[in-house]
Amino acid sequence: MSRKRLLIVSGGMEIGGIERSLLGLLGALDYDRYDVDLLLFSAKGELLPLVDKRCNLLPEMPQCAVMTEPISVALKRFPLIAVNRLWQRFRVEHKFGTEDGAVFELLSSYWKSCVKFMPSQKKEYDAAISFMWPHEYVAKKVRAKKKIAWIHTDYTIATMDFDKDAKTWEAFDKIAGVSDDVCVAFKKVYPSLADKLVTVENILSPVFVRTQSETGTPEDMDTACKTVVSVGRFCHQKAFELVPQYCRIMLDSGCKFKWYLIGYGGDEELIKEEIKKYGVEDTLIVLGKRTNPYPYMAACDVYVQPSRYEGKAVTVREAQILGKPVIITDFETAGSQVTDGFDGIICSMNPQGVANAVMSLLNGEEMCRQLSENCLVTDYSNASATEIIYGIIEE
């Protein structure tokens, strides 16, 4: 039987949860069953060498790659794309403002107005997966018998023209949410698309995570005291700029510890300003970007994800795979990430609530031991999710 042709499209392979989830998917696919092409709009990033060599990485398309660059760069290379982005930014800021939720409308508008300048895929596929939003390219520039769009976040926090955006989603046969809660939230915003929804949880490789965690002991991490680690992009969603306040409350309560932030992003200076404001320079350390965060996660006493919202944080799953006691805030989809009291703690999002939860684990050896044991006996790989994908493609 001939193999089916599958195209997977995503943004790039910079360090991030969606990108690591993509690595898991690519590693779990049956390459005797499928010929897999991978199209990355930006074919670069620290995780690119980890892409499964059995899939075929397509050449980068400059018109798509420039969408990941500043408008000033686009202006030199593709002026029409740059002009369209400038107009959409003006329009979106005038209508929706500049709040965090409006970035959904901004990115959607960028791609809706610029996809016409991008080349179509010449090959026809049995199935195409648009793994990262916005999904305009696969919707309009790819020929496939089946199209599947992935959703990784809570769309109820978005500020955008949902009726207009729904037309893009209608081009897909199925919409795969990374958790039941993500699907429920999506359904609230797009009720007409409910029959397209299916839950396909992130596919992760416990062997990969554990192997990477054993590559060495972090020399820039003080493990002589109790340690906390948080990993993620430095952006509004992750709420790392609030961590200095949590640390101040904990220090004033007499708690001795070090908290390490691993990641990168536009909020780095804001985080550092807040660290100075609360006088926690010796306690909260910004380590920045790390291609391999797993040795740090393995070495910590507690892992904390203090996000304002999430779909399903890959970093939390990775910490659980490593048997770490986990704390997450009570964002809308938190219940699909952690079973409170079994394999992690869900705490109130306010500063005192987070500080109290972290202190309770740093000082609670028995609770930490129980959470760790429960994590280590739980299968977080979700390898069986590939069968759901195969079922969609072949139905």
pLDDT at 17: 87
Residues in the chain: 395
pLDDT tens digits along 127-157: 999 999 999 999 999 999 999 999 998 898 8
36, amino acid identity:
V
CA dist list (Å): 230 to 246, 259, 304: 13, 8, 5
Confidence of residue 1 (pLDDT cuts 50, 70, 90): low
Pair 240, 308 in one domain = yes
* Angstrom distance (rounded) from CA 338 to CA 331: 11
- pLDDT tens digit sequence for 210-249: 999 998 889 899 988 999 999 999 999 999 999 999 999 9
Angle among Cα 152, 156, 97 to the nearest 5 degrees reads 105
Distance of alpha carbon 149 from alpha carbon 169, whole angstroms = 8
Higher local confidence (pLDDT), 87 or 291: 87
Do residues 302 and 271 make contact, with C-beta atoms less than 8 angstroms apart?
no
213/200 same-domain check: no
Of all residues in the chain, what percent carry a pLDDT higher than 90? 85
**pLDDT (tens digit per residue) in 309-358:** 898 889 999 999 999 999 999 998 899 889 999 999 999 999 999 999 99
Q: pLDDT averaged over the chain?
A: 94
Please provide residue 40's backbone torsions phi and psi, each rounded to the nearest 5 degrees. Answer: -110, 130
* pLDDT cut 70: percent of the chain above it: 100
Q: Does 359 lie in the same domain as 264?
A: yes
| Closest to 109 measured CA to CA, from 88, 84, 135, 137 | 88
Whether residues 313 and 223 share a domain: the answer is yes
How many Å is the Cα radius of gyration of the chain? 21
d(CA 363, CA 286): 23
Residues 162, 45 share a domain? yes
One domain for residues 157 and 240: no
Q: Are 177 and 317 members of one domain? A: no
Tokens of 212: 């990477």
pLDDT in tens, 280-314: 999 999 999 998 999 999 999 999 999 998 988 89
- Give yes or no: residues 181 and 213 share one domain: no
Instruction: Say whether both 68 and 56 belong to one domain.
Output: yes
CB-CB neighbours of 332 under 10 Å: 17
Report how far Cα 383 is from the mean position of its chain's Cα atoms. 18
DSSP β-ladder status, 302-305 and 34-40:
unpaired
Instruction: Give the count of beta carbons closer than 10 Å to the beta carbon of residue 346.
Output: 19
Counting beta carbons within 10 angstroms of the beta carbon of residue 189, is it exposed (0 to 12), middle (13 to 18) or buried (19 or more)?
middle
Cα–Cα distance for residue pair 31/117, rounded to 1 Å: 33
What pLDDT, on a 0 to 100 scale, did the predictor assign at position 392? 93
Strand order in the sheet with 197-199: 56-57, 34-40, 4-10, 124-130, 143-151, 174-177, 197-199
Q: Do 186 and 60 share a domain, yes or no?
A: yes
pLDDT of the residue at 338: 94
Q: What is the CATH number of the domain that holds 86?
A: 3.40.50.2000
Give burial (CB, 10 Å; 0-12/13-18/19+) of 381.
buried
Cβ contacts of 282 within 8 Å, gap of 6 or more: none
Q: State pTM to two decimals.
A: 0.87
Which burial class, exposed, middle or buried, applies to 308 when counting CB atoms under 10 A from its CB (0-12, 13-18, 19+)? middle
What residue numbers bound the domain in which 153 lies? Answer: 4-204+382-394
Residue type, 39: L
Query: Quick one: pLDDT band at residue 101, thresholds 50, 70, 90?
Result: confident
Read off the DSSP letter of residue 237. G
Total domains present in the chain:
2
- Which residue from 311, 263, 272 is spatially nearest to 290, judged by alpha carbons? 263
Pair (174, 308) in one structural domain = no
Name the pLDDT band for 383 (thresholds 50, 70, 90): confident
The better pLDDT of the pair 240, 383 is held by 240
Give yes or no for a contact between 8 and 41, defined as CB atoms under 8 angstroms apart.
Answer: no
Residue with tokens 């109290």: 356
pLDDT at res. 332 = 87
pLDDT, tens only, 240-279: 999 999 999 999 999 999 999 999 999 999 999 999 999 9
Cβ partners under 8 Å of residue 292, min gap 6 = 212, 215
Co-location of 57 and 162 in the same domain: yes
